[in-house]
Amino acid sequence: MTDGNRISVRLVGADEDDGIVRFDDFRNFCDSLAACLRKSEELLTSGPTRIRYRIVGLENASAAVTLEAIAPTNGRDPRPEVLGLFRETVVNLQSGRPVDSRIGRDVLAAYRELISPLHRRTKEVWVDSSCLTTQYGASIDEILGSSIPSEGSVRGVLERVNVHNRNEFVLYPPLPGYSVSCSFPDSMLEQVRRAIKSNVTVWGRLHFQPDAPFPHQVHASRMEIHPPDDELPTFSDLRGTAKECTGTLTSVAFVRAVRDEQAD
């Protein structure tokens, strides 16, 4: 029986190398695996990663590794959900079945890197009992190719700014479990920095997956930063700010006149 908190992966080298895996292939695969686990956790928890992993099994030649997720010291334990999502996504991609609708392009890009060793000198890549083949990559290409672009806007909380080799931030719409990866031009950099942890509306080219309520990616062209809710005026603050708006009419006569005009 498989331990739900453990993941086993294995790489098999090329025949001319007698199945021995090149170090560069193994190192890059480990980086890709770490990225998939990290992004899966971020997707489920909408916060910084807290799960760490340790090696509990290691074999040479075919480079087999078993990782065990370590429970966070504080708060909820998300290990079953994170590792479950990771396994389910790998299996579904390999079998050509749909993946979780919350998984966006950036997460799929990370999962695609799991088979990058196959393009070098690695013969096979295994995740638990799944051997990843060209079907795995084709499934990702099909999902990414079905993205529907349109011009529009999306609103949410701006977090996780990344300006290392690219300009990106993550927007969290008001629906749990969804996040939107947003790229932006250099001209918006200072505005993005000011907007961290703020509610914003972003305009640009939106990319939707079929049946998804929010875009999974936005190429932003402009943005508006909204004030916090506690800074917005209340009804009592607005009282008396437009004393002359009814002209010479009383408030009752003004409302009646508006109703009569709409009826006409």
> pLDDT tens digits for 122-181?
999 999 999 998 889 889 888 877 666 789 999 999 998 988 767 889 999 988 778 888
**pLDDT (mean) for 207-232:** 80
Q: pTM of the prediction?
A: 0.59
Instruction: Kindly tell me if the per-residue pLDDT of 1 is higher than 50.
Output: no
Instruction: Kindly tell me if the per-residue pLDDT of 194 is higher than 50.
Output: yes
Calpha distance 202→222 (Å, rounded): 6
Q: What is the pLDDT of residue 163?
A: 82
**Residue whose entry in the numeric block shows the structure tokens 């025949």:** 15
Q: What number of H helices and E strands is found in the chain?
A: 7, 10
Q: What mean pLDDT, rounded, does the chain reach?
A: 85
In the 8-state DSSP scheme, what is residue 238? Answer: H
Domain ranges of the chain: 6-145, 148-231
Q: What percent of the chain is predicted at pLDDT more than 70?
A: 84
Q: How confident is the model at residue 82 (pLDDT cuts 50, 70, 90)?
A: very high
CB 43 within 8 A of CB 172: no
CB 204 within 8 A of CB 151: yes
b/e per residue, 12-45, with b = 16+ CB within 10 A? Answer: bbbeeeebbbbeebbebbeebbebbbbbbbbbbb
Measured CA to CA in angstroms, residue 260 lies from 253, 255, 256, 263 at distances of: 10, 9, 6, 5
- 3-12, 59-68, 174-183, 184-193: segment of lowest average pLDDT: 174-183
**Residue whose entry in the numeric block shows the structure tokens 């529907």:** 148
Locate all alpha helices (DSSP H) within the chain, ordered by sequence: 23-45, 79-95, 105-112, 134-145, 189-194, 235-238, 251-263
CATH class entry, domain 148-231: mainly beta
Q: What percent of the chain is predicted at pLDDT more than 90?
A: 45
- Bridge partners (DSSP) of residue 99 are none
User: Per-residue pLDDT tens for 226-251?
Assistant: 988 665 555 565 565 556 666 666 76
